[in-house]
Structure 1
């Protein structure tokens, strides 16, 4: 059962979607783009990824009002090959750009077996998981990624040159929940370091460096420095490869050419995204794939546990369990955040 904290209210999926839609349209976003954006943000909240949920309407709104994001963007897909689409986001809302790309990639994959959509001229597009979930529900396996503002220094470097570039995979599972992996490149999110600083507690070694690129356990020094990629050089290499795919090949900005929405909120970020889809229905019947997915999941779930009270689960399993529960019971969200979004929807934003 969804149990709110004292500062939270429970809101149903349709009400939350309607609220996000009203707020985005009040900010001048066309109805179709507002619907696409609300779809991704509400799915994020249903999955429990509240940092990338409907609260993002507030930060998106700040940039929409000053022209950092174009409310009436003309998002244009260009078919450069039978299975390759380049999407020009025209500095529009990232989730709206992402949804155009996802649909284009699914259409191409349905026709040719595979579909690739590369985006440029975009902005923060939310978490990867909602896109992977939507694709998997239609029978498509996916690799989805984006580049981001620089927060990670290359191995051996003392200045940020790479983004904490999110990427993920989705695999359809006929008759059950898909398998979804959604991850960024850093060991931890910067929010965990901010929380440690507020609590006056040290952070573990390996989380971050100070401003000179030296490893630190001081959260305040870490906030002036850089996030560390997981796996050291391997994480650095993976972040670089994601930026090659989403930034270089798409024609978007890359590395330090990506603008920071915090430092320059009025400037277009020109983020790049990539959607690579495979039509799994071409590979066999739904019964064939469903049986193999169940066998795969069973092998993982049956792994002997280190802690008897902690089950071994698949990536994305908790998020999808949350999705089903919160679709039934509603989502508990911060009351002040909801009131601020309602003010935007009513044209009374601060």
Structure 2
């Protein structure tokens, strides 16, 4: 049963999953491929990351329809060394390429204790924290990253040459809450700047620059300019390192070689990802890791909060709280997204849904 709250609809996880799989199958994906994609996107929605959840069917679907994404990608995995995997995504839909790379890195880590997968010829693969959770549930600590379309100027520069490339870290707690840190390289998302423009309010001058590279408090100038990286020049350096691993070393596109899916939706992006996994079972027993991870979290939680209404938490707790609540109550999905999913799921395969 679906429940409506304002412009959101609460849908049980199993129903939303089935609807998403049917929608992606009608976009041309094989059943197993559609299930992989929906697994990541539904986890994003469960975490409360709705901008990176099943709402992505709008951009993914339109790009498939115009040939920018290959719905029938033949994804291959090469093994150049015992702990290394090279994944060619064949311009497949990003979460599908991501799941292939995750499984490849898991296999390598099981064999060697630590494994790494480089993926190329991919597209936007959703948020990283769902991959981190899947890895953590299987006993793996992880470092995962992806490059992205350029929206950040080089430090001191005046044009967009660096991607807002995300990186994430996860460490499992076998009997508790996993540590999950997922972050992009900009101080804020462009959506927050757009919201400030709609509200007619200024923004902090640490969020973005204007088109000339000067910090600005004007949201219109910021949207015409560039996002600022976290930590100033340090965030800039970190963004470059993510792109070196995800793009350059994976033999994918990097920096300005990455195509914009907005400006060129019918062209392959050739995004790259990297997955570094550590099999924690090779380090010690489940009890050993549980005790240390529980103590780690307790040290943080026991810090007296500056604001009593906001106790200290460790990264991932908000997302895992959202996941537990929405598994029980249903996933809050935007009504327009639900309608689009239903249109794709109920149409004849390969037909563009009406606006």
- Bucket of the pairwise TM-score, normalised by the shorter protein: over 0.9
Once structures 1 and 2 are overlaid, which stretch shifts more, 36-45 or 330-339? 330-339
Gaps of 5+ in 2: none
Checking the alignment, whether the CA contact within 8 Å between 1:85 and 1:116 is kept in structure 2 is yes
2:245 is matched with 245
Q: Is the 8 A contact 2:143 2:168 kept in 1?
A: yes
Contact 1:3 1:332 (8 Å CA) reproduced: no
Alignment correspondent of 2:20:
20
- Relative distance call for 1:246 and 1:138 in structure 2 (3 A) is same
> Is the 2:181–2:316 Cα contact (8 Å) retained in structure 1?
yes
- 1:305 and 1:7 map into 2 onto residues whose CA distance is 34
Task: Flag as ranges the 4+ runs of structure 1 deviating above 2 A.
Answer: 2-5
| Aligned partner of residue 182 in structure 1, secondary structure | strand
**C-alpha deviations, 1:66-97, integer Å up to 9, x for none?**
00000100011111110000000000000000
Structure 2 residue aligned with 1:130:
130
SS in 1 for 2:5: coil
Q: Deviations over 1:82-123 (max 9, x none)?
A: 000000000000000000000111111011101100000000
1:6 equivalent in structure 2 = 6
Give the counterpart of 1:349 among 340, 347, 353: 353
Gaps of 5+ in 1: none
1:208 Cα shift? 0.3
Question: Contact between 2:11 and 2:330, CA under 8 Å: does it hold in 1?
Answer: yes
- Considering only aligned residues, what root-mean-square deviation do their CA atoms show, in Å? 1.1
Q: Give the 3-state SS of the residue equivalent to 1:55 in structure 2.
A: helix
Aligned to 1:263: 263
Cα distance in 2 between the residues matched to 1:11 and 1:245? 38
Match of residue 282 from structure 2: 282
Structure 1 position 5, deviation (Å)? 3.1
Instruction: For residue 3 of structure 1, report the CA deviation from its aligned partner.
Output: 8.4
Q: Offset at 1:6? A: 1.5
Distance, in Å, in 2 between the alignment partners of 1:74 and 1:140 is 27
Closer, same or farther: CA 200–3 of 1 in aligned 2, 3 Å: farther
Using the alignment, how far apart are the partners of 2:33 and 2:274 within structure 1? 19
Mean CA deviation greater in 253-262 or 104-113: 104-113
Whether 2:110 is the aligned partner of 1:106: answer: no
CA contact (8 A) 1:216 1:222 kept: yes
Distance 2:275 2:57 in 1: 23
Which residue in the other structure is 1:305 paired with?
305
> Aligned residue pairs: how many?
349
SS at 1:87 equivalent:
strand
Matched ranges for 1:51-70 at <5 A: 51-70=51-70
Secondary structure, counterpart of 1:229 in structure 2: coil
Does the 8 Å contact 1:211/1:225 carry over to 2?
yes
Could you tell me which residue of structure 2 aligns to residue 145 of structure 1? 145
Decide whether aligned partners of structure 1 residues 3 and 346 sit closer, same or farther in structure 2, where only a CA change above 3 A counts. Answer: closer
Question: Which residue in the other structure is 1:45 paired with?
Answer: 45
Whether the aligned pair in 1 keeps the contact of 2:3 and 2:11 (CA below 8 Å) is no
Are the equivalent residues in 2 in contact too, given 1:180–1:315 (CA < 8 A)?
yes
Look up the match of 1:88.
Answer: 88
TM-score, normalising length: structure 2: 0.97
